[in-house]
Amino acid sequence: MQNKAAIAGILSIVSGVFGMLWLGYAFLLNYWLEAIPQFFGASDPLNFSDYWFRTMGVIYIIGGSVAAIIGVFAILAGIFTLKRINWVLALAGAIASTIIFFPCGIPAIILISDAQNEF
């Protein structure tokens, strides 16, 4: 079977797209976390809940940004895998895709490892 690299590249790209979606999810969650204290009103005199929700929003945005950066790397490595340019970069992208979306990343690593002679 000579299409192992192509399948692995597609799996890396799919995983990278999920990484990009994490950033959108983080922005949406941040919007919801900003709206929750306003919805329930300011019953806390120290506004502790407002600070907590803003802190959680920042944490989600940072996590989503990291996932998006790793996702962009996985997408670029998936494109290089489809073109069969560099095996080491393809393997690194498959490992990055494992960090983002495990069910697509593990088969991508296995297929890239088997398809080393296709590069």
- Per-residue pLDDT tens digits for 27-61: 888 887 777 666 666 555 555 566 777 788 788 88
Helix H, strand E, coil C: the string for the chain is: CCCHHHHHHHHHHHHHHHHHHHHHHHHHHHHHHHHHHHHHCCCCCCCHHHHHHHHHHHHHHHHHHHHHHHHHHHHHHHHHHHHCCCHHHHHHHHHHHHHHCHHHHHHHHHHHHHCHHHC
pLDDT at 13: 92
The structure's pTM equals 0.78
pLDDT at 61: 87
Low-confidence stretches of the chain (pLDDT beneath 70): 1, 36-50
Where exactly are the structural domains of the chain? 4-118
pLDDT at 48: 58
